[in-house]
Structure 1
Amino acid sequence: MADVEQYRATFEMVDVDGDGFVSVEEVKNLMRVLGQEVSTLRAVEVVVAADANGDGKISLEEFAALMEAARR
């Protein structure tokens, strides 16, 4: 299990609207800021892959797990 506090600051920067979740639009915005345009379909795929509880958005815990998986 990932240490969520390790990713909180990054999560809060990505969660532009401050609702406590990362949405498809916020994934697209993040990728744009990182210099890579992604389609809505690709952003949806990222959210679905990270969304462990199936609510259609990425929580801090899911974000931390995604970041840990990307490090491997």
Structure 2
Amino acid sequence: MDPSGNVTQPCIPENELPEAASGDVTILDYGEQTKAYGFTCLSAQSGMKCVADSTSTGFSIAKAGIGEA
């Protein structure tokens, strides 16, 4: 994280970066949501927002950056 509070990418070692998803992964259209592993995630033009079902806390991720949900 830089002094302005922005996350610098990548924030993990290069050898631990995730790989591209396989072709059988479901793509959410804008306005669609999915539930998995105790989280609910909603896709929007502004990015993706995921919150923990038990606490309603989570994160958002978009081209503009990563933040709290």
Please tell me the TM-score bracket, short chain as reference.
Answer: under 0.3
Compare the two structures and name the one with the higher helix fraction: 1
Higher alpha-carbon Rg: 2
Greater fraction of residues in strand: 2
Where relative contact order (Cα < 8 A, 6+ residues apart) is larger, the structure is 1
